[in-house]
Amino acid sequence: MPAITMNPGFILILVGILSIFMKNNKQRFILSMAGLATSLFIILGLPEGERLLTFVFLDFEIILLEVDVISRNIALVFVIFGAGAFIYSYKFCKKKEFPLVNFYLGFSFMILFVGDFISFFVAWEIITVSAFFLIYDINDAVRQHTAQYYILMHVSGGLMLLWGIILHVTESGSIILTMPERGLIFFLISIAVKLAFVGVHTWLPRTYANIPFHISVILSAFTSKIGVYGLYRIIELDNMLIAYFGAFSAILGVILAMTHSDIRKILSYHIVSQIGYMIIGIGIGSELGIVGGSFHIINHILYKGLLFIMAGTVIYSFGYENLENLGGLWKKVPITFVTSLIAALSIAGFPFFNGYLSKTMIKHSTDNQIIYYGMMIAGIGTALSFIKIMYFGFIREGNNPPMKKKPLFSMRVSMVFLAGIMMTMALLPEQMESLFNISTGINYFSAYEVWNGVQPILIGLALFPILQKTIEPHPEQPIEPDFYCDICNSFIEFDNKVSKIHTGDMVRYVSWVLFALVLLLLNFYVTSLF
């Protein structure tokens, strides 16, 4: 097969530009799928471990193509999920959304394969900007507020990244993407914002619960995984502290998830929690841990994407997303029910589903008891909250919301497509291991492992009747003010004061000039004394 050495991101960026000129959604959809197919073809033929497509920018060598196993596998799943998301959503996408989604995907692909900090930063920031435009809506004040929150959060993270890069580059003199020599903490802050670490996760539920469902499908699958990938590229030593932080994030994420009742809010907090698992894997830093973490990224993109698709279908068909208003859906939308059950079992780590494989890998990569029990608790929480979604949303009798629209054929196709791929992956663990060039020797389907995997779910099932009252669905606000809003407000107050001192009074302005002169002279006088 002739290999094209090209960063696959560029294809999608090109497709994004072209799709501006297309006439209707069908053409744009076909073009986007063609773009994805081309990039799939390119990814399969990319040579590993070489630094290609280099050029010089500001005395630095930019490396636009550097492939390793993990980036290639993540790119493959990006292609698969990108295709699923396009199939799912092309009927609802507005004209402006196709180019933006393509740019967003294109730069997400690009960031997987770049080998230097400058292009990493460029892609990092453009992902933020294109997501901003996707979230923004001209007629919806809530989405405007959300978009503003999103871009402020992410740009502050991006500026931290820039600061870290500057520190690293002035220290080491090279911009090759590697473990930074100085300012590691700034890289970590930046990545923490991108991957929605607990504490700076606030943008995530706020965003994904307030935007149209087809956009939340696309954004939720990629944004935070880029952050995890960035963590993988930047942390090269084994760092147990980071693994502890990951466990902390995993537990807190599920606790927050259980207290909410909008489906997409629960799913959003679950992203926070699941990202915790990936951080654990990467923080442990052994080969098995890293592979487990990145395999978890892949699984997570698929099942979380599928769950967001489920949420979207429910919103499309019934018009509600608060569990309070739902119930007994399994008879009305059986395909949605079955596929989302598969996804829910996967995310809970039930044996013979794909989340189980990567969770087992991460568990096997360390002997640390804190991590082990942390993952156990997080697993129980995950099981509980998905029992909550499944029970209150699909199974319980009670509310019987009328079905407004039947799910479209394309929606069902994408659900079955993604569920099929997930099940294939789940049942072929050896092939998955060989895709990562690793042989773990774990017997995934032995009784011991299966028992280990089932435990948290059984505990969750046992706890559910006890906790049912406390986690019962309740109505929710679209935007909850938080700590960061308070900071912004205090800034605005301060700035009000600053602009109030410009009264237009000439005497005041002239006295400023004289004051400055006196201060300057005084300063020179004082410094000359010493």
Partner 1 sequence: MDLLIWLIIIPLFTIFSIGIFNYINKKFVLPVVFTSAILQSGIAIYYIINRNNLLPQLYNVGNWQRDIAINLSIDNFTLVIFVLIAIMPLLSLLYSITEIQRKPAKFYLLINVLLLGASGMVMTADLFNFYVFFEIASISSYALVAFRDEDISLEAAFEYLIIGSIGSVFLLLGIVLTYQATGTLNMAMIPGRMAEIPVITRQVLMSLFIIGLGVKFALVPLHAWMPDAYQGSPISYIVLSSGLVVNVYFFVLVRILFIFFGVEFFQETIFTNLIVGWGVLSMLFGHGAALQQDNLKRLFAYSTIAQLGYVIIAFGLGTEAGIVAGSFHLISHALLKGAIFFTAGNLHKATGSYQIREMKGMAEKMPVMSIIFVLMLIAMVGIPPSNIFVSKWLILSAAVEAGYLLPAFMIVFGSFLSLGYYLRPVITIYTGYTGFPGKLPLLKFNEYFPTLLLAGICLIIGLFPGYILNIIDTAPEFLLEQSNFIIHILGG
Q: Which residues make up the interface to partner 1 (CB under 8 A)? A: 57-58, 121-122, 125-126, 128-129, 136, 138-139, 144, 148, 151-152, 155-156, 158-160, 162-163, 166-167, 169-170, 488, 491-492, 494-496, 498-499, 502, 504, 506, 508-510, 512-517, 520-521, 523-525, 527-528
Which of 24, 139 has the CB closer to partner 1? 139
CB of residue 31 to partner 1, shortest distance in Å: 22
CB atoms within 10 A of CB 166: 14
Rounded to 5°, angle at Cα 476 from 380 and 462:
20
CB neighbour list of residue 18: distance below 8 Å, 6 or more residues apart: 31
CB of residue 268 to partner 1, shortest distance in Å: 23
CB 375 within 8 A of CB 349: no
CB of residue 103 to partner 1, shortest distance in Å: 13
Which of 58, 241 has the CB closer to partner 1? 58
Query: If we measure between CA atoms, which residue out of 421, 426, 423 comes closest to residue 77?
Result: 421
Rounded to 5°, angle at Cα 43 from 37 and 49:
175
CB of residue 105 to partner 1, shortest distance in Å: 18
Nearest-angstrom CA–CA distance, 125 and 114: 14
User: Sign of torsion, CA 500 503 504 509?
Assistant: negative
CB of residue 204 to partner 1, shortest distance in Å: 20
CB of residue 276 to partner 1, shortest distance in Å: 27
Beta strands in 290-388 (DSSP E): none
What are residue 402's phi and psi, to 5 degrees? -70, 145
Rounded to 5°, angle at Cα 430 from 429 and 434:
115
Using H for helix, E for strand and C for coil, what is the string for 144-171?
HHHHHHHHHHHHHHHHHHHHHHHHHHHH
Which of 148, 410 has the CB closer to partner 1? 148
CB of residue 90 to partner 1, shortest distance in Å: 23
Which of 370, 488 has the CB closer to partner 1? 488
CB of residue 20 to partner 1, shortest distance in Å: 11
CB of residue 135 to partner 1, shortest distance in Å: 12
As a whole number of Å, the end-to-end CA separation of the chain is 76
Query: If we measure between CA atoms, which residue out of 164, 162, 152 comes closest to residue 235?
Result: 164
Strand-pair partners of 60? 57
CB atoms within 10 A of CB 431: 10
Which of 158, 374 has the CB closer to partner 1? 158
Which of 157, 381 has the CB closer to partner 1? 157
Rounded to 5°, angle at Cα 287 from 269 and 343:
35
Nearest-angstrom CA–CA distance, 218 and 231: 21
Which of 151, 200 has the CB closer to partner 1? 151
Which of 151, 326 has the CB closer to partner 1? 151
Which of 144, 178 has the CB closer to partner 1? 144
